[in-house]
Amino acid sequence: MNETKLKSYKEIINSPLTVLKGIGRKRAELFEKTGVSSIGDLTDHFPRAYQNRGNVRLLSEAESGVACSFSLTVATVPRTARLKNRMEITKFRAFDDSGRVEICFFNSRFTEKVFDVGQTWRFWGRVSQGRSGLTMTAPVYERADIPGTFLPDLVPVYPSTAGLTQGVIADAVRSAFELIGDRAPEEIIPPELMLRTGVPDRMTAYRFVHFPQTVREAQEGRRYFALREIFEFVLAIRATRSSRNRGTPPAIGKISVGPYLEKLGFTLTDAQKRSVNEILNDMTASGRPMMRLLSGDVGSGKTAVAGAAAYICAAGGYQCALMAPTEILAAQHYGKLSPIFEKLGLKTALLTGGLKEPEKKRVRDGIASGQIDIVIGTHALISRNTFFARPGLTVIDEQHRFGVIQRACVAENTGSDVTPHVLVMSATPIPRTMGLVMFGELSHSVLDELPPGRQEIKTYCVDSGYAARLDGFIRKQAEEGGRTYVICPAIEREIEPEDLLTVDDPYEEKTEMHYAVEEFERLKSSLDGISVGLVHGRMKASDKDRVMERFASGEIQVLVSTTVVEVGVDVPEATLMIIENAERFGLATLHQLRGRVGRGKKESFCILVSDSKSANAVKRLGVMKDCSDGFRIAEFDLQQRGPGDYLPERGYARQHGQSAAPLLADVEMLREAEKTVSGILESDPDLSEHPVLREEVGEIVRENEKYLQ
């Protein structure tokens, strides 16, 4: 143990978890599943919520279904009984000044030995009204009547996995910080930026996040990590940009997009024309590799613009990779664009996970030999093991993930001296002001105009009392040949593990949750004669695709889904979008979802169902009802909750729902970070005088790479 005293902060955080007391190989493997393999990972394993155990109530004040604490005295000896289904139930009674409650545990005979009559415990859980009075099932319990014991008010709830209890995680986190002691890492954020934004220092931030005394402290701690993420994001994108500027662009000569536009089948809107011209200029005349962001409202026609860019590239003798976030979208783009390209004599291929291995290899060989001009596929597939003979352009569709954007910008797996052009298409409209702050010099084309003939989607807000009338509305749509999406925020009621049952997320509202699986069953039985389908994120990609195809072809008329349909899919016959628990979605997501209907000629509707009474939710849903302009909605969203949707994500952390930034980051913070970074890069463009920052930028790139594997 003495040896560890000599270790530096860096050595400690790079050590495996097994150096901690109580963590053997088995537990380390469980931690691994949650993305934690070193001490450093553990310190950055942030709680996803906090249980507010400090809120001690009297039993008489218990609200049904809401978790809170009770200080109770054990009144009877715990007794265990065997139930018919071979389960065991251990029960006893406890009381406070206002009443009494029956407490039960299942298959936990050991609790007989835990509780003695007369002891006082703090119980945390939900009380419900049973036939013979109040009951509480499997509460969290802490002895409250031993002098000197400290019961924290806020208890972190960590992202976890089966077999790994909250207690084990909390103990591990505690011993990790004991091991670190008063060592501190070198600070990356420049001190003046920390001062201006008023965040605590890093070690204090860790303490606040993991062991907060108040909700305010937990929030302050997160602000530090949000600032750090923002600072690194701005730094990395600026540094990438300046190094790309020094690269050699593909040598594309004078190209006319005329032949492509002729085959398109419609006339471009003015906004599309402007964007195509900006891209054409970047790709043929600027002398620098393009790094352009194309943002536009849902349905503004980004695909046609991307197609033009791909055409310019291929006609100029280079290869283009067009990447979509999902297989469905990749296939849809391929279906739309490849007939046009083939007519123009350009060889186009689709590369998705659904292809058989030999087929994939054939496509990859075609790309490596230069036979294929344009390849369309998913991000992961194209960026992995795919070598281009003449890379010229990477197009990234429906993206607001920084990791993916950056990976494309770095693009070193090309085996070529040329730095390819990059075009990123955002999934959501990014207001110009925001684009400027975030991406700085990244050129930004905006499609602020919809193709002609689009009609307004009628949007209504209702509460769940309208369920029966909505069913009737779905039926009416189906009878008239229309199709309906029903979106639910979650897949399925889990057999909740102990920790989930006890989560009291201070940031979450408590409205009754709608689950896709249950909604699907309910609609199937209430809408007889109408065929109902289900898709969600836990299904295999090929199964999802099959259901989507059946919905697109009309074989399925009602599609119950989670937000997997959020981006891109194009089913013109869809006329009704119903969103359950609408208050749980961000405005950008709601707007995207609404954009799934109104794509054909028929009148279309979006119904936002919510029982939330919170002023904030009512206001946000009101904005959806009154406004159909994605840019204005995005502006409003920004003011309301900070630029969450556009924020950087250290791919891995975000994937595990731990990113600190989206919660509390604000535009002001982004502006301050931007100012600081500009100052640094102005005097030291390649960061040679800032070795720590330089290493950090490299680190971010490597991390994103890992995430794309």
- The nearer residue to ligand ADP, 104 or 588, going by C-beta atoms, is 588
Two tokens at 253?
Answer: 């000569």
Contact set for Mg ion, span 153-172 (CB under 5 A): none
User: Least distance to Mg ion from the beta carbon of 594, Å?
Assistant: 15
Which stretches of 527-626 are DSSP H helices? 541-553, 587-594, 615-626
- The nearer residue to Mg ion, 272 or 659, going by C-beta atoms, is 272
CA-CA distances (angstroms) from residue 160 to 45, 138, 497? 10, 19, 10
Taken as a whole, the chain contains a residue count of 709
Contact segment (CB under 6 A) with ligand ADP among 260-268, 551-559, 608-616, 650-658 equals 260-268
For ligand ADP, which residue of 301, 403, 431, 533 counts as binding (CB under 6 A)?
Answer: 301
Identify which of 425, 378, 169 has the alpha carbon closest to the alpha carbon of residue 275. 425
**What, of ligand ADP, Mg ion, none, does residue 256 touch, CB below 5 to 8 Å by kind?**
none
| Total residues interacting with ligand ADP, rule: CB under 6 A | 15
| Total residues interacting with Mg ion, rule: CB under 5 A | 2
For residue 125, the cross-strand partners are 68
**What, of Mg ion, ligand ADP, none, does residue 157 touch, CB below 5 to 8 Å by kind?**
none
Two tokens at 482?
Answer: 């229309």
**What, of ligand ADP, Mg ion, none, does residue 176 touch, CB below 5 to 8 Å by kind?**
none
- The nearer residue to ligand ADP, 403 or 568, going by C-beta atoms, is 568
Cα separation, 442 vs 282, whole angstroms = 12
- Alpha-carbon Rg of the chain, whole angstroms? 28
Burial label, 113 (beta-carbon count in 10 A; 0-12, 13-18, 19+) = exposed
Cβ-proximal residue to ligand ADP, closest one: 301
Contact set for Mg ion, span 287-306 (CB under 5 A): 302
Cα separation, 230 vs 221, whole angstroms = 15
For ligand ADP, which residue of 54, 299, 586, 600 counts as binding (CB under 6 A)?
Answer: 299
- The nearer residue to Mg ion, 366 or 630, going by C-beta atoms, is 630
**What, of ligand ADP, Mg ion, none, does residue 268 touch, CB below 5 to 8 Å by kind?**
ligand ADP
User: Least distance to ligand ADP from the beta carbon of 47, Å?
Assistant: 36
Contact 634, 588 (CB under 8 A): yes
User: Least distance to ligand ADP from the beta carbon of 384, Å?
Assistant: 25
Contact set for ligand ADP, span 413-452 (CB under 6 A): 451
User: Least distance to ligand ADP from the beta carbon of 53, Å?
Assistant: 46
User: Least distance to Mg ion from the beta carbon of 562, Å?
Assistant: 19
Cβ contacts of 696 within 8 Å, gap of 6 or more? 188, 232, 235
- The nearer residue to ligand ADP, 305 or 687, going by C-beta atoms, is 305
* Using rule CB under 5 A, residue 568 touches Mg ion: yes
**Can you tell me which residue has the tokens 């103990």?**
171
- The nearer residue to ligand ADP, 134 or 427, going by C-beta atoms, is 427
- The nearer residue to ligand ADP, 329 or 351, going by C-beta atoms, is 329
User: Least distance to ligand ADP from the beta carbon of 268, Å?
Assistant: 5
For ligand ADP, which residue of 210, 302, 401, 421 counts as binding (CB under 6 A)?
Answer: 302
**What, of ligand ADP, Mg ion, none, does residue 451 touch, CB below 5 to 8 Å by kind?**
ligand ADP
Contact 564, 498 (CB under 8 A): no
User: Least distance to ligand ADP from the beta carbon of 391, Å?
Assistant: 24
Q: Give 398-447 as a DSSP string.
A: S---HHHHHHHHH--TT-SSB--EEEEE-SS---HHHHHHHHTTSEEEEE
* Using rule CB under 5 A, residue 325 touches Mg ion: no
- Supply φ then ψ for residue 640, to 5 degrees: -70, -45
Two tokens at 490?
Answer: 């979650």
* Using rule CB under 6 A, residue 266 touches ligand ADP: yes
Q: Give 149-163 as a DSSP string.
A: ----SEEEE----TT
Cα separation, 689 vs 704, whole angstroms = 25
Cα separation, 559 vs 551, whole angstroms = 7
Q: What is the 3-state secondary structure (H, E, C) of 224-283?
A: HHHHHHHHHHHHHHHHHHHHHHCCECCCCCCCCCHHHHHHHCCCCCHHHHHHHHHHHHHH
User: Least distance to Mg ion from the beta carbon of 599, Å?
Assistant: 11
Question: What DSSP character marks residue 388?
Answer: -
**What, of ligand ADP, Mg ion, none, does residue 317 touch, CB below 5 to 8 Å by kind?**
none
User: Least distance to ligand ADP from the beta carbon of 398, Å?
Assistant: 7
Q: Report strand pairing: 374-378 vs 483-487.
A: unpaired
Contact segment (CB under 6 A) with ligand ADP among 296-304, 412-420, 640-648, 668-676 equals 296-304
**What, of Mg ion, ligand ADP, none, does residue 54 touch, CB below 5 to 8 Å by kind?**
none
- The nearer residue to ligand ADP, 166 or 592, going by C-beta atoms, is 592
User: Least distance to ligand ADP from the beta carbon of 305, Å?
Assistant: 8
**Can you tell me which residue has the tokens 């920004």?**
638
**What, of ligand ADP, Mg ion, none, does residue 304 touch, CB below 5 to 8 Å by kind?**
ligand ADP
Identify which of 512, 521, 451, 519 has the alpha carbon closest to the alpha carbon of residue 485. 519
For ligand ADP, which residue of 276, 304, 330, 488 counts as binding (CB under 6 A)?
Answer: 304
- The nearer residue to ligand ADP, 268 or 349, going by C-beta atoms, is 268
The angle at the Cα of 557, spanning 551 to 562, to the nearest 5 degrees, equals 65
The angle at the Cα of 369, spanning 364 to 374, to the nearest 5 degrees, equals 65
Contact set for ligand ADP, span 557-596 (CB under 6 A): 570
User: Least distance to ligand ADP from the beta carbon of 299, Å?
Assistant: 5
Contact segment (CB under 6 A) with ligand ADP among 302-310, 343-351, 476-484, 544-552 equals 302-310
Cα separation, 492 vs 631, whole angstroms = 33
- The nearer residue to Mg ion, 166 or 628, going by C-beta atoms, is 628
Burial 20-48 (b: 16+ CB within 10 A, else e): beebeeebbebbeebbbebbbbbbbbbbb
CA-CA distances (angstroms) from residue 136 to 64, 70, 110, 125, 531? 10, 11, 18, 7, 41
User: Least distance to ligand ADP from the beta carbon of 594, Å?
Assistant: 12
- The nearer residue to ligand ADP, 240 or 272, going by C-beta atoms, is 272
Footprint of ligand ADP (CB under 6 A): 266-269, 272, 296, 298-304, 451, 570
Footprint of Mg ion (CB under 5 A): 302, 568
